[in-house]
Structure 1
Amino acid sequence: MKPTATLLFSCPDRQGLVAKVANFIYANGGNIVHADHHTDFNAGLFLTRIEWQIEGFNLPRELIAPAFGAISQPLGGTYQIRFSDTIPRMAIWVSRQNHCLLDLIWRQQAREFSAEIPLIISNHPDLEPIAKQFGIDYYYLPITKDNKEAQQQRQLELLKEYRIDLVILAKYMQIISPEFIDTFPSHNIINIHHSFLPAFVGANPYHKAYERGVKIIGATGHYVTSELDAGPIIEQDVVRVTHRDEVDDLIRKGKDLERIVLARAVRHHLQNQVLVYGNKTVVFD
Protein backbone atom coordinates (compact mmCIF):
# COMPACT_ATOMS: atom_id res chain seq x y z
CA MET A 1 0.00 0.00 0.00
CA LYS A 2 1.06 3.56 -0.58
CA PRO A 3 2.26 5.41 2.55
CA THR A 4 -0.45 7.08 4.59
CA ALA A 5 -0.71 9.54 7.45
CA THR A 6 -3.07 8.90 10.35
CA LEU A 7 -4.55 11.63 12.53
CA LEU A 8 -5.94 10.81 15.98
CA PHE A 9 -7.77 13.87 17.29
CA SER A 10 -10.10 14.71 20.18
CA CYS A 11 -11.65 17.96 21.34
CA PRO A 12 -14.81 19.28 23.02
CA ASP A 13 -17.77 18.46 20.82
CA ARG A 14 -19.30 21.14 18.60
CA GLN A 15 -20.89 21.42 15.17
CA GLY A 16 -18.80 21.20 12.02
CA LEU A 17 -15.82 19.26 13.37
CA VAL A 18 -15.92 16.48 10.77
CA ALA A 19 -16.02 19.05 7.98
CA LYS A 20 -13.24 21.11 9.54
CA VAL A 21 -10.85 18.14 9.83
CA ALA A 22 -11.72 16.71 6.43
CA ASN A 23 -11.29 20.12 4.80
CA PHE A 24 -7.74 20.35 6.19
CA ILE A 25 -6.87 17.22 4.24
CA TYR A 26 -8.86 18.17 1.15
CA ALA A 27 -7.43 21.70 0.99
CA ASN A 28 -3.93 20.25 0.97
CA GLY A 29 -4.60 17.74 -1.80
CA GLY A 30 -5.00 14.64 0.36
CA ASN A 31 -7.03 11.54 -0.47
CA ILE A 32 -8.84 10.10 2.59
CA VAL A 33 -8.83 6.29 2.69
CA HIS A 34 -10.33 5.71 6.17
CA ALA A 35 -12.41 7.92 8.44
CA ASP A 36 -14.07 7.06 11.74
CA HIS A 37 -15.68 9.32 14.30
CA HIS A 38 -17.17 8.96 17.76
CA THR A 39 -18.84 11.33 20.19
CA ASP A 40 -18.78 10.59 23.91
CA PHE A 41 -21.85 12.56 24.95
CA ASN A 42 -21.20 12.02 28.67
CA ALA A 43 -17.73 13.53 28.38
CA GLY A 44 -18.78 16.05 25.74
CA LEU A 45 -15.92 14.94 23.49
CA PHE A 46 -15.55 14.41 19.76
CA LEU A 47 -12.97 11.77 18.79
CA THR A 48 -11.80 10.86 15.32
CA ARG A 49 -9.32 8.82 13.34
CA ILE A 50 -8.63 9.86 9.74
CA GLU A 51 -6.10 8.24 7.42
CA TRP A 52 -5.04 9.66 4.08
CA GLN A 53 -2.48 9.02 1.37
CA ILE A 54 0.73 11.03 1.54
CA GLU A 55 1.34 10.90 -2.19
CA GLY A 56 0.28 14.20 -3.69
CA PHE A 57 -0.22 15.88 -0.32
CA ASN A 58 0.90 19.48 -0.50
CA LEU A 59 2.54 19.66 2.93
CA PRO A 60 5.85 17.94 3.68
CA ARG A 61 5.65 15.50 6.58
CA GLU A 62 7.45 17.70 9.05
CA LEU A 63 4.92 20.51 8.54
CA ILE A 64 1.71 18.45 8.82
CA ALA A 65 1.60 18.40 12.62
CA PRO A 66 2.32 22.13 13.07
CA ALA A 67 -0.23 22.99 10.39
CA PHE A 68 -2.95 20.91 12.02
CA GLY A 69 -1.97 22.37 15.38
CA ALA A 70 -3.22 25.72 14.14
CA ILE A 71 -6.66 24.09 13.77
CA SER A 72 -6.54 22.04 16.97
CA GLN A 73 -5.40 24.76 19.36
CA PRO A 74 -8.46 27.08 19.15
CA LEU A 75 -10.71 24.00 19.46
CA GLY A 76 -9.02 22.94 22.70
CA GLY A 77 -8.00 19.67 21.07
CA THR A 78 -5.22 17.12 21.42
CA TYR A 79 -3.84 15.17 18.48
CA GLN A 80 -1.09 12.97 17.13
CA ILE A 81 -0.04 12.21 13.57
CA ARG A 82 1.77 9.03 12.54
CA PHE A 83 2.97 7.65 9.22
CA SER A 84 2.41 4.11 8.03
CA ASP A 85 5.94 3.63 6.68
CA THR A 86 7.58 4.59 9.99
CA ILE A 87 8.46 1.25 11.58
CA PRO A 88 8.16 1.33 15.42
CA ARG A 89 10.84 -0.34 17.54
CA MET A 90 9.51 -2.57 20.34
CA ALA A 91 11.19 -3.83 23.50
CA ILE A 92 9.65 -6.93 25.05
CA TRP A 93 10.01 -7.40 28.80
CA VAL A 94 9.61 -10.90 30.23
CA SER A 95 10.19 -12.96 33.37
CA ARG A 96 10.04 -16.77 33.07
CA GLN A 97 6.90 -17.47 31.03
CA ASN A 98 7.56 -17.68 27.29
CA HIS A 99 4.15 -18.02 25.65
CA CYS A 100 3.48 -14.34 24.96
CA LEU A 101 7.10 -13.67 23.96
CA LEU A 102 7.13 -16.49 21.41
CA ASP A 103 3.75 -15.45 20.04
CA LEU A 104 4.80 -11.83 19.51
CA ILE A 105 8.05 -12.83 17.82
CA TRP A 106 6.23 -15.31 15.57
CA ARG A 107 3.66 -12.71 14.54
CA GLN A 108 6.39 -10.16 13.82
CA GLN A 109 8.34 -12.73 11.80
CA ALA A 110 5.15 -13.60 9.91
CA ARG A 111 4.59 -9.86 9.24
CA GLU A 112 1.24 -9.83 10.97
CA PHE A 113 2.24 -6.41 12.24
CA SER A 114 4.92 -3.97 11.22
CA ALA A 115 7.54 -3.46 13.94
CA GLU A 116 11.13 -4.22 14.82
CA ILE A 117 12.05 -6.16 17.97
CA PRO A 118 15.69 -5.33 18.72
CA LEU A 119 15.58 -5.75 22.50
CA ILE A 120 14.36 -8.12 25.22
CA ILE A 121 14.78 -7.25 28.90
CA SER A 122 14.18 -9.75 31.70
CA ASN A 123 14.59 -10.08 35.44
CA HIS A 124 15.50 -13.77 34.87
CA PRO A 125 18.00 -15.45 32.53
CA ASP A 126 15.64 -18.27 31.49
CA LEU A 127 14.47 -16.96 28.10
CA GLU A 128 17.81 -15.85 26.68
CA PRO A 129 17.99 -18.89 24.33
CA ILE A 130 14.84 -17.63 22.57
CA ALA A 131 16.44 -14.23 22.04
CA LYS A 132 19.57 -15.85 20.61
CA GLN A 133 17.48 -18.03 18.31
CA PHE A 134 15.94 -14.95 16.71
CA GLY A 135 18.99 -12.67 16.89
CA ILE A 136 17.51 -10.30 19.47
CA ASP A 137 19.68 -8.65 22.13
CA TYR A 138 18.83 -9.91 25.63
CA TYR A 139 19.61 -8.13 28.89
CA TYR A 140 19.26 -9.91 32.21
CA LEU A 141 18.56 -7.30 34.89
CA PRO A 142 17.64 -9.00 38.18
CA ILE A 143 15.41 -6.90 40.42
CA THR A 144 15.60 -6.73 44.21
CA LYS A 145 14.30 -4.15 46.67
CA ASP A 146 17.87 -2.88 47.04
CA ASN A 147 18.75 -2.46 43.35
CA LYS A 148 15.39 -1.63 41.74
CA GLU A 149 16.14 2.07 41.29
CA ALA A 150 19.54 1.40 39.69
CA GLN A 151 18.12 -1.31 37.41
CA GLN A 152 15.29 0.98 36.41
CA GLN A 153 17.84 3.58 35.34
CA ARG A 154 19.63 0.91 33.30
CA GLN A 155 16.33 -0.04 31.66
CA LEU A 156 15.75 3.57 30.65
CA GLU A 157 19.28 3.79 29.26
CA LEU A 158 18.68 0.70 27.13
CA LEU A 159 15.40 2.03 25.81
CA LYS A 160 17.15 5.22 24.75
CA GLU A 161 20.16 3.37 23.32
CA TYR A 162 17.92 1.10 21.21
CA ARG A 163 15.56 3.96 20.25
CA ILE A 164 12.54 2.09 21.58
CA ASP A 165 9.08 3.46 20.80
CA LEU A 166 6.94 0.83 22.53
CA VAL A 167 7.45 -1.44 25.55
CA ILE A 168 5.47 -4.68 25.81
CA LEU A 169 5.21 -6.30 29.23
CA ALA A 170 4.79 -9.90 28.04
CA LYS A 171 4.31 -11.52 31.44
CA TYR A 172 6.91 -9.32 33.11
CA MET A 173 6.13 -10.00 36.74
CA GLN A 174 7.36 -6.73 38.22
CA ILE A 175 5.58 -3.50 39.09
CA ILE A 176 6.67 -0.54 36.97
CA SER A 177 7.37 2.47 39.18
CA PRO A 178 5.62 5.83 38.74
CA GLU A 179 9.06 7.43 38.20
CA PHE A 180 9.70 5.15 35.24
CA ILE A 181 6.27 5.88 33.77
CA ASP A 182 6.86 9.62 34.13
CA THR A 183 10.05 9.22 32.10
CA PHE A 184 8.80 6.78 29.46
CA PRO A 185 5.21 7.68 28.49
CA SER A 186 2.62 5.26 29.85
CA HIS A 187 0.65 5.19 26.61
CA ASN A 188 3.69 3.53 25.06
CA ILE A 189 3.76 0.69 27.60
CA ILE A 190 1.33 -2.20 27.07
CA ASN A 191 0.71 -4.93 29.63
CA ILE A 192 -1.15 -8.23 29.42
CA HIS A 193 -3.06 -9.03 32.59
CA HIS A 194 -4.33 -12.55 33.14
CA SER A 195 -7.77 -11.44 34.27
CA PHE A 196 -10.81 -9.70 32.87
CA LEU A 197 -10.05 -6.41 34.62
CA PRO A 198 -11.19 -4.91 36.91
CA ALA A 199 -11.84 -8.39 38.35
CA PHE A 200 -9.01 -10.16 40.20
CA VAL A 201 -6.42 -7.39 40.18
CA GLY A 202 -2.87 -8.31 41.17
CA ALA A 203 -1.23 -11.71 41.49
CA ASN A 204 -2.69 -15.23 41.15
CA PRO A 205 -5.98 -14.32 39.44
CA TYR A 206 -6.57 -17.87 38.18
CA HIS A 207 -6.40 -19.22 41.72
CA LYS A 208 -8.78 -16.47 42.85
CA ALA A 209 -11.12 -17.26 39.94
CA TYR A 210 -11.07 -20.97 40.77
CA GLU A 211 -11.86 -20.31 44.40
CA ARG A 212 -14.73 -18.03 43.38
CA GLY A 213 -16.16 -20.67 41.04
CA VAL A 214 -16.36 -18.38 38.02
CA LYS A 215 -17.78 -19.65 34.71
CA ILE A 216 -15.61 -17.48 32.49
CA ILE A 217 -12.01 -16.31 32.74
CA GLY A 218 -10.50 -13.46 30.78
CA ALA A 219 -7.44 -11.51 29.78
CA THR A 220 -6.89 -7.77 29.39
CA GLY A 221 -4.43 -5.80 27.31
CA HIS A 222 -4.02 -2.30 28.72
CA TYR A 223 -1.73 0.68 28.89
CA VAL A 224 0.36 0.93 32.04
CA THR A 225 -0.18 3.76 34.50
CA SER A 226 1.08 4.42 38.00
CA GLU A 227 -1.99 2.68 39.43
CA LEU A 228 -1.59 -1.10 39.40
CA ASP A 229 -3.61 -2.85 36.66
CA ALA A 230 -5.82 0.21 36.22
CA GLY A 231 -4.63 1.78 32.98
CA PRO A 232 -6.78 2.42 29.88
CA ILE A 233 -8.01 -0.89 28.42
CA ILE A 234 -7.23 -1.65 24.77
CA GLU A 235 -8.48 -5.22 24.33
CA GLN A 236 -10.24 -7.95 26.34
CA ASP A 237 -11.64 -11.41 25.77
CA VAL A 238 -13.01 -14.35 27.75
CA VAL A 239 -13.22 -18.13 27.58
CA ARG A 240 -15.67 -20.41 29.37
CA VAL A 241 -14.62 -22.77 32.14
CA THR A 242 -16.61 -25.48 33.93
CA HIS A 243 -16.76 -27.15 37.32
CA ARG A 244 -14.53 -29.90 35.93
CA ASP A 245 -11.64 -27.48 35.32
CA GLU A 246 -8.86 -27.35 37.89
CA VAL A 247 -6.50 -24.44 38.40
CA ASP A 248 -4.06 -25.92 35.85
CA ASP A 249 -6.86 -26.00 33.26
CA LEU A 250 -7.67 -22.36 33.93
CA ILE A 251 -4.00 -21.45 33.52
CA ARG A 252 -3.74 -23.39 30.23
CA LYS A 253 -6.87 -21.78 28.81
CA GLY A 254 -5.76 -18.43 30.14
CA LYS A 255 -2.38 -18.62 28.39
CA ASP A 256 -4.09 -19.21 25.06
CA LEU A 257 -6.27 -16.19 25.69
CA GLU A 258 -3.36 -14.00 26.83
CA ARG A 259 -1.53 -14.59 23.56
CA ILE A 260 -4.52 -13.53 21.48
CA VAL A 261 -5.48 -10.50 23.56
CA LEU A 262 -1.93 -9.16 23.76
CA ALA A 263 -1.42 -9.57 20.02
CA ARG A 264 -4.65 -7.69 19.32
CA ALA A 265 -3.71 -4.87 21.69
CA VAL A 266 -0.26 -4.52 20.14
CA ARG A 267 -1.68 -4.57 16.62
CA HIS A 268 -4.26 -1.88 17.45
CA HIS A 269 -1.50 0.33 18.83
CA LEU A 270 0.87 -0.23 15.90
CA GLN A 271 -1.91 0.51 13.41
CA ASN A 272 -2.64 3.81 15.18
CA GLN A 273 -6.17 2.75 16.05
CA VAL A 274 -6.20 3.63 19.76
CA LEU A 275 -7.18 7.05 21.07
CA VAL A 276 -6.80 7.50 24.83
CA TYR A 277 -8.88 10.02 26.76
CA GLY A 278 -9.05 10.09 30.52
CA ASN A 279 -8.72 6.48 31.61
CA LYS A 280 -10.64 5.16 28.63
CA THR A 281 -9.89 4.35 25.01
CA VAL A 282 -11.66 4.41 21.69
CA VAL A 283 -10.35 1.66 19.41
CA PHE A 284 -11.11 2.50 15.78
CA ASP A 285 -10.93 -1.05 14.41
Structure 2
Amino acid sequence: MQVTITAVGPDNKGLADPIVHYVSGAGANIYEIQMYDRDTEHLFAMLMRIEWPDEMGSVAKLRDHLQQIGNTRNLEVRVWARDEHQRLPRVAICTTYRTEPPLAVLRAIRDGRLKAEAAVMIGNRNACHSVAEQFEVPWLNIADSKGVPDYSKMESLIDEHEIDYVILARYMRVLPADICWKFAGGRIINLHHGLLPPFPGFRPYEDAFQHHMLCYGSTVHFIVPELDAGNQIIHQGSFNVPPGTPLEDIKRQGESDHEPNCLVEGLRRVIDREVELHFHRIVKTNH
Protein backbone atom coordinates (compact mmCIF):
# COMPACT_ATOMS: atom_id res chain seq x y z
CA MET A 1 0.00 0.00 0.00
CA GLN A 2 1.32 3.45 -0.90
CA VAL A 3 1.82 5.58 2.19
CA THR A 4 2.86 9.22 2.58
CA ILE A 5 4.76 10.22 5.73
CA THR A 6 5.44 13.79 6.81
CA ALA A 7 7.48 14.97 9.77
CA VAL A 8 7.73 18.61 10.81
CA GLY A 9 9.34 20.22 13.82
CA PRO A 10 12.10 22.43 15.22
CA ASP A 11 15.36 21.95 13.38
CA ASN A 12 17.93 19.67 14.99
CA LYS A 13 20.40 16.94 14.08
CA GLY A 14 19.51 13.34 13.25
CA LEU A 15 15.76 13.90 12.99
CA ALA A 16 15.18 11.79 9.90
CA ASP A 17 17.37 8.81 10.77
CA PRO A 18 15.06 6.87 13.11
CA ILE A 19 12.08 7.21 10.76
CA VAL A 20 14.06 6.14 7.70
CA HIS A 21 15.65 3.25 9.58
CA TYR A 22 12.31 2.02 10.87
CA VAL A 23 10.51 1.92 7.53
CA SER A 24 13.49 0.50 5.65
CA GLY A 25 14.10 -2.08 8.36
CA ALA A 26 10.48 -3.18 8.05
CA GLY A 27 11.05 -3.90 4.36
CA ALA A 28 9.25 -0.85 2.98
CA ASN A 29 10.25 0.32 -0.48
CA ILE A 30 11.06 4.05 -0.33
CA TYR A 31 9.87 5.70 -3.54
CA GLU A 32 10.55 9.29 -2.58
CA ILE A 33 12.23 11.17 0.24
CA GLN A 34 12.74 14.90 0.59
CA MET A 35 14.06 16.90 3.51
CA TYR A 36 14.06 20.66 3.98
CA ASP A 37 15.56 22.99 6.53
CA ARG A 38 14.08 26.49 6.68
CA ASP A 39 16.93 28.36 8.35
CA THR A 40 14.94 31.54 8.92
CA GLU A 41 12.25 29.66 10.86
CA HIS A 42 14.49 26.89 12.25
CA LEU A 43 12.00 24.40 10.80
CA PHE A 44 12.77 20.86 9.71
CA ALA A 45 10.42 19.14 7.28
CA MET A 46 10.52 15.70 5.69
CA LEU A 47 8.33 13.94 3.16
CA MET A 48 8.51 10.22 2.41
CA ARG A 49 6.43 8.19 -0.03
CA ILE A 50 6.75 4.45 0.53
CA GLU A 51 5.24 1.11 -0.33
CA TRP A 52 4.29 -0.44 3.01
CA PRO A 53 4.32 -4.27 3.04
CA ASP A 54 0.95 -5.76 4.00
CA GLU A 55 2.65 -8.47 6.05
CA MET A 56 4.13 -5.82 8.38
CA GLY A 57 0.74 -4.87 9.76
CA SER A 58 -1.78 -2.11 9.26
CA VAL A 59 -1.12 1.52 8.41
CA ALA A 60 -2.54 2.34 11.84
CA LYS A 61 0.26 0.34 13.49
CA LEU A 62 2.82 2.08 11.31
CA ARG A 63 1.33 5.41 12.34
CA ASP A 64 1.56 4.51 16.04
CA HIS A 65 5.22 3.52 15.74
CA LEU A 66 6.22 6.64 13.82
CA GLN A 67 4.31 8.96 16.12
CA GLN A 68 6.16 7.43 19.06
CA ILE A 69 9.41 8.22 17.27
CA GLY A 70 8.12 11.72 16.60
CA ASN A 71 7.35 12.25 20.27
CA THR A 72 10.95 11.47 21.21
CA ARG A 73 12.30 13.88 18.56
CA ASN A 74 9.78 16.71 19.01
CA LEU A 75 8.36 16.09 15.53
CA GLU A 76 4.76 16.10 14.33
CA VAL A 77 4.50 12.91 12.27
CA ARG A 78 1.56 12.18 9.99
CA VAL A 79 0.98 8.95 8.10
CA TRP A 80 -1.56 9.03 5.28
CA ALA A 81 -2.66 6.33 2.85
CA ARG A 82 -5.46 6.87 0.37
CA ASP A 83 -6.34 3.16 0.56
CA GLU A 84 -6.26 2.80 4.33
CA HIS A 85 -10.05 2.99 4.66
CA GLN A 86 -12.73 1.40 2.51
CA ARG A 87 -14.65 4.63 2.02
CA LEU A 88 -14.86 7.62 -0.25
CA PRO A 89 -12.03 10.14 0.16
CA ARG A 90 -12.94 12.90 2.59
CA VAL A 91 -12.41 16.51 1.58
CA ALA A 92 -12.24 19.80 3.46
CA ILE A 93 -13.38 22.82 1.43
CA CYS A 94 -11.68 26.09 2.42
CA THR A 95 -13.33 29.35 1.39
CA THR A 96 -13.19 33.12 1.77
CA TYR A 97 -15.72 35.19 -0.20
CA ARG A 98 -16.76 33.50 -3.43
CA THR A 99 -19.58 30.97 -3.18
CA GLU A 100 -19.45 29.61 -6.74
CA PRO A 101 -16.45 27.22 -6.37
CA PRO A 102 -17.63 25.43 -3.19
CA LEU A 103 -21.17 25.31 -4.55
CA ALA A 104 -19.92 23.61 -7.74
CA VAL A 105 -17.90 21.08 -5.72
CA LEU A 106 -20.82 20.21 -3.45
CA ARG A 107 -23.20 19.85 -6.40
CA ALA A 108 -20.71 17.57 -8.17
CA ILE A 109 -20.44 15.42 -5.03
CA ARG A 110 -24.22 15.30 -4.67
CA ASP A 111 -24.66 14.31 -8.33
CA GLY A 112 -21.96 11.64 -8.20
CA ARG A 113 -19.55 13.40 -10.55
CA LEU A 114 -17.03 13.65 -7.72
CA LYS A 115 -16.74 10.42 -5.79
CA ALA A 116 -15.90 12.03 -2.47
CA GLU A 117 -17.42 13.08 0.83
CA ALA A 118 -17.48 16.71 1.94
CA ALA A 119 -16.50 16.28 5.58
CA VAL A 120 -16.18 19.95 6.59
CA MET A 121 -16.12 23.50 5.22
CA ILE A 122 -13.59 25.91 6.68
CA GLY A 123 -13.73 29.66 6.17
CA ASN A 124 -11.84 32.78 7.15
CA ARG A 125 -15.02 34.75 6.31
CA ASN A 126 -18.67 33.80 6.69
CA ALA A 127 -19.67 34.40 3.06
CA CYS A 128 -20.00 30.67 2.31
CA HIS A 129 -21.73 29.64 5.54
CA SER A 130 -25.09 29.41 3.81
CA VAL A 131 -23.64 27.06 1.17
CA ALA A 132 -22.48 24.69 3.90
CA GLU A 133 -25.92 24.84 5.54
CA GLN A 134 -27.64 24.15 2.22
CA PHE A 135 -25.70 20.90 1.81
CA GLU A 136 -25.66 20.06 5.53
CA VAL A 137 -21.87 20.16 5.73
CA PRO A 138 -20.28 21.17 9.06
CA TRP A 139 -19.04 24.75 8.93
CA LEU A 140 -16.30 26.44 10.97
CA ASN A 141 -14.91 29.94 10.73
CA ILE A 142 -11.29 29.81 11.93
CA ALA A 143 -10.50 33.53 11.65
CA ASP A 144 -10.79 36.64 13.78
CA SER A 145 -12.95 39.64 12.88
CA LYS A 146 -10.34 40.80 10.35
CA GLY A 147 -10.24 37.45 8.56
CA VAL A 148 -6.85 36.43 9.96
CA PRO A 149 -6.96 32.61 10.26
CA ASP A 150 -5.92 30.51 13.23
CA TYR A 151 -4.00 27.81 11.39
CA SER A 152 -3.71 25.63 14.47
CA LYS A 153 -7.51 25.29 14.25
CA MET A 154 -7.31 24.39 10.57
CA GLU A 155 -4.69 21.76 11.31
CA SER A 156 -6.81 20.29 14.11
CA LEU A 157 -9.90 20.16 11.91
CA ILE A 158 -8.04 18.35 9.12
CA ASP A 159 -6.85 15.73 11.60
CA GLU A 160 -10.14 15.49 13.48
CA HIS A 161 -12.21 14.93 10.34
CA GLU A 162 -9.66 12.50 8.84
CA ILE A 163 -9.34 14.62 5.72
CA ASP A 164 -7.72 13.15 2.64
CA TYR A 165 -7.68 16.28 0.48
CA VAL A 166 -7.77 19.96 1.44
CA ILE A 167 -9.42 22.07 -1.27
CA LEU A 168 -8.62 25.78 -1.43
CA ALA A 169 -11.75 26.92 -3.28
CA ARG A 170 -10.78 30.56 -3.85
CA TYR A 171 -9.38 30.65 -0.33
CA MET A 172 -7.68 34.03 -0.45
CA ARG A 173 -4.90 33.44 2.05
CA VAL A 174 -1.39 32.04 1.61
CA LEU A 175 -0.94 28.94 3.75
CA PRO A 176 2.09 28.99 6.06
CA ALA A 177 4.97 26.68 5.17
CA ASP A 178 4.49 24.33 8.11
CA ILE A 179 0.86 23.61 7.14
CA CYS A 180 1.96 22.90 3.58
CA TRP A 181 4.58 20.43 4.79
CA LYS A 182 2.36 18.74 7.36
CA PHE A 183 -0.10 17.83 4.60
CA ALA A 184 2.38 17.57 1.73
CA GLY A 185 2.50 14.92 -0.96
CA GLY A 186 -0.46 16.00 -3.05
CA ARG A 187 -3.09 16.53 -0.36
CA ILE A 188 -3.64 20.30 -0.73
CA ILE A 189 -5.31 21.43 -3.97
CA ASN A 190 -5.72 25.08 -4.94
CA LEU A 191 -7.94 26.90 -7.43
CA HIS A 192 -6.09 29.91 -8.81
CA HIS A 193 -8.24 32.39 -10.72
CA GLY A 194 -5.71 32.95 -13.48
CA LEU A 195 -3.49 31.13 -15.91
CA LEU A 196 -0.20 29.98 -14.38
CA PRO A 197 2.64 30.63 -14.60
CA PRO A 198 2.19 34.01 -16.39
CA PHE A 199 -0.46 35.46 -14.05
CA PRO A 200 0.12 34.54 -10.39
CA GLY A 201 -0.88 36.66 -7.40
CA PHE A 202 -4.19 37.95 -6.12
CA ARG A 203 -5.21 40.05 -9.17
CA PRO A 204 -4.70 37.84 -12.24
CA TYR A 205 -7.75 39.18 -14.11
CA GLU A 206 -6.53 42.74 -13.70
CA ASP A 207 -2.96 41.80 -14.62
CA ALA A 208 -4.05 39.99 -17.79
CA PHE A 209 -6.37 42.86 -18.71
CA GLN A 210 -3.52 45.36 -18.39
CA HIS A 211 -1.56 43.21 -20.84
CA HIS A 212 -4.48 43.44 -23.31
CA MET A 213 -5.04 39.69 -23.19
CA LEU A 214 -8.00 38.17 -25.01
CA CYS A 215 -7.57 34.78 -23.34
CA TYR A 216 -8.29 34.29 -19.63
CA GLY A 217 -8.50 31.20 -17.48
CA SER A 218 -7.95 29.42 -14.20
CA THR A 219 -5.62 26.78 -12.84
CA VAL A 220 -6.02 23.89 -10.43
CA HIS A 221 -2.73 22.83 -8.90
CA PHE A 222 -1.19 21.05 -5.95
CA ILE A 223 0.26 23.29 -3.26
CA VAL A 224 4.00 22.77 -2.92
CA PRO A 225 5.94 24.65 -0.21
CA GLU A 226 8.56 27.12 -1.36
CA LEU A 227 7.90 26.52 -5.03
CA ASP A 228 5.76 28.40 -7.55
CA ALA A 229 3.10 26.36 -9.28
CA GLY A 230 4.47 24.99 -12.54
CA ASN A 231 4.95 21.26 -12.72
CA GLN A 232 2.20 20.94 -10.09
CA ILE A 233 -0.63 21.95 -12.45
CA ILE A 234 -3.46 19.40 -12.45
CA HIS A 235 -5.82 21.14 -14.85
CA GLN A 236 -6.12 24.44 -16.68
CA GLY A 237 -8.98 25.93 -18.62
CA SER A 238 -9.30 29.09 -20.67
CA PHE A 239 -11.92 31.22 -22.37
CA ASN A 240 -11.62 33.89 -25.04
CA VAL A 241 -13.24 37.31 -25.10
CA PRO A 242 -13.72 39.77 -27.98
CA PRO A 243 -11.54 42.88 -28.10
CA GLY A 244 -12.96 45.66 -26.00
CA THR A 245 -14.73 43.41 -23.50
CA PRO A 246 -14.93 45.26 -20.14
CA LEU A 247 -12.98 43.83 -17.24
CA GLU A 248 -16.18 43.49 -15.21
CA ASP A 249 -17.71 41.22 -17.88
CA ILE A 250 -14.54 39.13 -18.07
CA LYS A 251 -14.47 38.63 -14.31
CA ARG A 252 -18.18 37.81 -14.22
CA GLN A 253 -17.74 35.08 -16.84
CA GLY A 254 -14.66 33.68 -15.15
CA GLU A 255 -15.96 33.71 -11.59
CA SER A 256 -19.52 32.54 -12.19
CA ASP A 257 -18.91 29.77 -14.69
CA HIS A 258 -15.35 29.07 -15.73
CA GLU A 259 -13.55 28.81 -12.37
CA PRO A 260 -16.08 26.44 -10.75
CA ASN A 261 -16.01 24.09 -13.74
CA CYS A 262 -12.22 24.12 -13.79
CA LEU A 263 -12.07 23.26 -10.09
CA VAL A 264 -14.48 20.34 -10.41
CA GLU A 265 -12.53 18.84 -13.31
CA GLY A 266 -9.23 19.23 -11.49
CA LEU A 267 -10.62 17.55 -8.39
CA ARG A 268 -12.09 14.75 -10.46
CA ARG A 269 -8.66 13.96 -11.87
CA VAL A 270 -7.20 13.69 -8.37
CA ILE A 271 -10.11 11.83 -6.78
CA ASP A 272 -10.33 9.38 -9.68
CA ARG A 273 -6.57 8.92 -9.27
CA GLU A 274 -5.67 9.89 -12.78
CA VAL A 275 -2.81 12.01 -11.44
CA GLU A 276 -0.58 12.16 -8.36
CA LEU A 277 2.28 14.32 -7.16
CA HIS A 278 5.72 12.70 -7.21
CA PHE A 279 8.88 14.73 -6.61
CA HIS A 280 6.91 17.99 -7.04
CA ARG A 281 5.74 16.87 -10.48
CA ILE A 282 2.40 15.69 -11.80
CA VAL A 283 2.46 12.08 -12.95
CA LYS A 284 -0.21 9.91 -14.51
CA THR A 285 -1.11 6.90 -12.41
CA ASN A 286 -1.99 3.35 -13.29
CA HIS A 287 -4.99 3.12 -10.94
**Does the TM-score normalized on the shorter chain lie above 0.5?**
yes
Q: Call closer, same or farther: CA 1:245–1:227 in 2, change over 3 Å.
A: farther
Question: Does the 8 A contact of 1:268 with 1:274 survive in 2?
Answer: yes
How big is the shift at 1:186?
4.8
Whole-Å separation in 2 of the counterparts to 1:142 and 1:81: 29
Aligned to 1:76: none
Alignment of 1:89-128 (within 5 A): 89-128=90-129
Q: Displacement of 1:275 after TM fit?
A: 2.9
Change (3 A) 1:144 1:281: farther
2:140 alignment counterpart: 139
Within a 5 Å distance, the mapping from 1:87-236 to structure 2 comes to 87-142=88-143, 148=149, 151-227=150-226, 229-230=228-229, 232-236=232-236
- SS at 2:186 equivalent: helix
Following superposition, the deviation at residue 244 of structure 1 comes to: 2.3
Paired with 1:215 and 1:119, the residues of 2 have a C-alpha distance of: 37
Distance 2:132 2:170 in 1: 16
The alpha-carbon deviation at position 280 of structure 1 amounts to: 2.3
| 2-structure distance, mates of 1:190, 1:114 | 16
Residue 134 of structure 1 and its aligned partner are, at CA, apart by 1.2
Q: Is the 8 A contact 2:121 2:137 kept in 1?
A: yes
Residues 110 and 272 (structure 1 numbering): CA distance in 2 closer, same or farther, change over 3 Å? Answer: same
- Judge conservation of contact 1:221–1:265 (CA < 8 Å) in 2: yes
Task: Give the % identical residues.
Answer: 27
Q: How many residues align?
A: 213
Q: What is the rounded CA distance, in whole Å, between the counterparts of 2:272 and 2:96 in structure 1?
A: 27
Matched position secondary structure for 1:187: coil
Question: How has the CA–CA distance of structure 1 residues 147 and 216 changed in structure 2, closer, same or farther, with 3 Å as cutoff?
Answer: closer
Q: What secondary structure, in the 3-state scheme, does the structure 2 residue paired with 1:197 have?
A: coil
Aligned to 1:182, what secondary structure does the other structure show? helix
User: For 1:97 and 1:125, how far apart are their aligned partners in 2?
Assistant: 10
Question: Which residue number corresponds to residue 249 of structure 1?
Answer: 249
For residue 268 of structure 1, what is the aligned residue in structure 2?
A: 269
Q: Which runs of 5 or more structure 1 residues have no equivalent in the other structure?
A: 9-63, 70-79
One-letter amino acid matched to 1:66: P
1:65-96 alpha-carbon deviations (Å, 9 max, x no partner): 51699xxxxxxxxxx87489531110000001
Q: Please say if residues 121 and 140 of structure 1, whose CA atoms lie closer than 8 Å, have aligned partners that are also in contact.
A: yes
State the Cα distance separating 1:228 from its structure 2 match.
6.4
Contact 1:193 1:229 in 2 (8 A): no
TM-score by length of 2: 0.67
Contact 2:124 2:147 in 1 (8 A): no
| CA distance in 1: counterparts of 2:227 and 2:145, whole angstroms | 19
Does structure 2 retain, via aligned residues, the 8 Å contact 1:234–1:283? no
Please identify the structure whose Cα radius of gyration is greater. 1
Query: CA 1:218–1:163 in 2, change beyond 3 Å: closer, same or farther?
Result: same
CA apart distance, 1:196: 1.3
Residues 186 and 252 of structure 1, relative CA distance in 2, 3 Å threshold: farther
Structure 1 residue 283 displacement after superposition: 3.6
Which 5+ residue runs of structure 2 have no aligned equivalent?
Answer: 4-50, 57-80
TM-score by length of 1: 0.67
